[in-house]
Amino acid sequence: MTGKTATLYRMDMPDHTCPYGLKSRHLLQSKGYEVDDHLLTSREETDAFKAEHDVKTTPQTFIDGQRIGGYEALREYFGLSTGKATSYTPVIALFSIAALLALAVGWQSGGSLVQLRTLEHFIAIAMVLLGLQKLTNIESFSTMFLNYDLLARRWVPYGRVYPFVEAGAGVLMLAGSLIWLAAPAALFIGSIGAISVFKAVYIDRRELKCACMGGDSRVPLGFISLTENLIMIAMAIWMPLRMYALM
């Protein structure tokens, strides 16, 4: 027992248990608090609680008689990230998974793990995953994309086309098929993307969020997005040369 106590009010109805209430309770317990857990088991009880404390949402946490607020406010109280700050964690996770998948493909094919083909697999898989990330909320992505992409600003539907082209080119390159189609497509979107990012960041000096990880991205526009486009350009040039060399 730490002697630290907190009072938590959260919804726990027959048809709905508030996930943020559960997360708040877990966070408090992980910080050594004994939680006085008050369940709001009906809509009437919840509305009465909100009216009494003049709040719009639940859960609500009280520590030492002071109302802290909801889950995000509780994280701030403990000095934790609220999920709104800049974060490179999704980028690191995506490229790490791409690298592991590339190694797995190389292992399964019976080749050496350290070879040029593994690097090709890594880039192709990364393109697919990046495209998929954008497709999870294509409307949000296309809106963010309009902030800096030069072609999307002239032809708005391009923002909805881009993720399909990126993912499709990655799939074809991974398969080593229809390179005559995949390479020009990747070269086209990669070149426009690189020019757009370079102009927005290094010429116009604009501080924007990168749409590379989708519409909810908290990654700053700059090196990551520029790298994404440059590796697409490199693959678009390299793949036809390799295929030609094997003929």
> What pLDDT score was predicted for residue 210?
76
> What pLDDT score was predicted for residue 192?
94
Q: Which two tokens stand for residue 150?
A: 């030069």
Do 152 and 43 fall within a single domain? no
Mean pLDDT of 152-163: 93
Q: Tell me how many domains the chain contains.
A: 2
CA-angle at 244, arms to 239 and 247, nearest 5°: 130
Enclosing domain of residue 189: 89-246
What confidence category does residue 239 fall into, taking pLDDT thresholds of 50, 70 and 90? confident
**pTM of this structure:** 0.73
Do 144 and 40 fall within a single domain? no
What confidence category does residue 80 fall into, taking pLDDT thresholds of 50, 70 and 90? confident
Q: How far is the C-alpha of 8 from the C-alpha of 60, rounded, in Å? A: 6
Highest mean pLDDT among 2-6, 195-199, 205-209: 195-199
Do 191 and 162 fall within a single domain? yes
Would you say 200 and 148 are in contact if contact means Cβ atoms under 8 Å apart? yes
Q: How far is the C-alpha of 80 from the C-alpha of 71, rounded, in Å? A: 11
Q: How far is the C-alpha of 163 from the C-alpha of 128, rounded, in Å? A: 9
Locus of tokens 């390179």: 179
- Check residue 212 and report its DSSP letter: G
Do 136 and 211 fall within a single domain? yes
Mapped onto helix, strand or coil, the DSSP state of residue 240 is helix
pLDDT in tens, 91-148: 888 999 999 999 988 887 766 556 778 888 999 999 999 999 899 889 988 888 888 8
Least confident range of 60-69, 137-146, 212-221: 212-221
Least confident range of 30-34, 52-56, 108-112, 167-171: 108-112
Do 110 and 231 fall within a single domain? yes
Do 19 and 102 fall within a single domain? no
Do 133 and 212 fall within a single domain? yes
Do 191 and 240 fall within a single domain? yes
> What pLDDT score was predicted for residue 227?
85
Answer whether residue 82 is part of any domain.
no
**Domain at 9, CATH number:** 3.40.30.10
Do 136 and 230 fall within a single domain? yes
Answer whether residue 141 is part of any domain.
yes
Q: At what angle do helices 223-246 and 179-198 cross, to 10 degrees?
A: 150
Least confident range of 113-127, 149-163, 213-227: 213-227
Bridging pattern class, strands 5-13 and 60-63: antiparallel
What confidence category does residue 177 fall into, taking pLDDT thresholds of 50, 70 and 90? confident
29, pLDDT greater than 70 = yes
Answer whether residue 83 is part of any domain.
no
Residue type, 112: S
Bridging pattern class, strands 34-40 and 66-69: unpaired
